[in-house]
Amino acid sequence: MHIHRLEKIWLIIGISMLVIFLAVLGVGTFAMGVAPPGGHHHSIDPETVTEKEPFNNPGLRQIGENEYEAVMLAFAFGYSPEQMEVPVGAKVHFVVTSTDVVHGFAIPGTNVNMMAVPGEVNTISHTFNEPGEYLILCNEYCGAAHEMMMTTIIVR
């Protein structure tokens, strides 16, 4: 089989780029300690999650001046608590897990979008600078009544 000279050149360039890419990736991973986010990995037993702190009493707690922690449980077709109210400019730290299946946790119009996975405790923070009513929606199909799964945050 005869390979044209230009084809050989392009093959050499392509394979060389692949080798360089893999070398840079390997050096970044092994030599420099680069790793995916998740150094604060926290897990919990999904069968006993409602018996353990802080998920045994989900809700909104003030932890600083205009700073709140929202401990939330996602379960089949709902979130607990059903509604929360915070002042304008409040920073809310969401601490979320699921008791049954994988659920989504998204607030449309914000950068809040994460998964609520059984056995995993996920956190995300958001500052609510605009007054209004914000929906928290499940954006992962979780069963027959998935479209009814929501809760609200009222910002005044």
Active site residues: 75, 77
Instruction: Return the SS3 of 37.
Output: coil
Q: Residue 100: CB partners within 8 Å, gap ≥ 6?
A: 46, 75, 76, 118
Rounded to whole angstroms, how far apart are CA atoms 55 and 75? 12
Question: Nearest Cα to 118, choosing from 96, 136, 133, 135?
Answer: 96
